Amino acid sequence: MARLPKTRVFWPILLTLLIADCASKKLAETYLAPEHTPHEVVGSVVRLTLAHNVGAAMGLSLGPYSRLGFSLAALLVCSPSASSTSALPPWPACVPLRWPSS
């Protein structure tokens, strides 16, 4: 059996995760309203509570433009031009968990 190219596996998985993430957020907003009110799932052992993160990444905030600002910063860091230097691995792995050794 021939191996599939990584992109043929990556993109369907990414799309599935994105759809699942958006669907679960919509379900949470629909069924867990109002905010900050615990909803019992398994008695008092497992409870779900709807809460919105008013900050952006890790509680940092740029005011009403947090989402836009951090999205643009992420696109800039992962852009092909940002990874063109020899210190960075090829795009899209432009933000490694550890820098490659020299």
The count of domains in the chain is 2
pLDDT score for 85: 53
CA angle 68, 77, 83 (to 5 degrees): 155
24 against 66, higher pLDDT = 24
Residue-wise pLDDT tens digits, 33-64: 888 888 898 988 899 999 887 666 667 777 77
Do 32 and 78 fall into the same domain?
Answer: no
Grade residue 67 by pLDDT with cuts at 50, 70 and 90. Answer: confident
Do 31 and 74 fall into the same domain?
Answer: no
* Of the candidates 36, 37, 76, 74, the residue with the CA atom closest to the CA atom of residue 54: 36
Query: What's the domain range around 62?
Result: 54-84
Please answer whether residues 53 and 59 qualify as being in contact, where contact means their C-beta atoms are separated by less than 8 angstroms.
yes
- In the predicted structure, residue 29 carries a pLDDT above the cut 80: yes
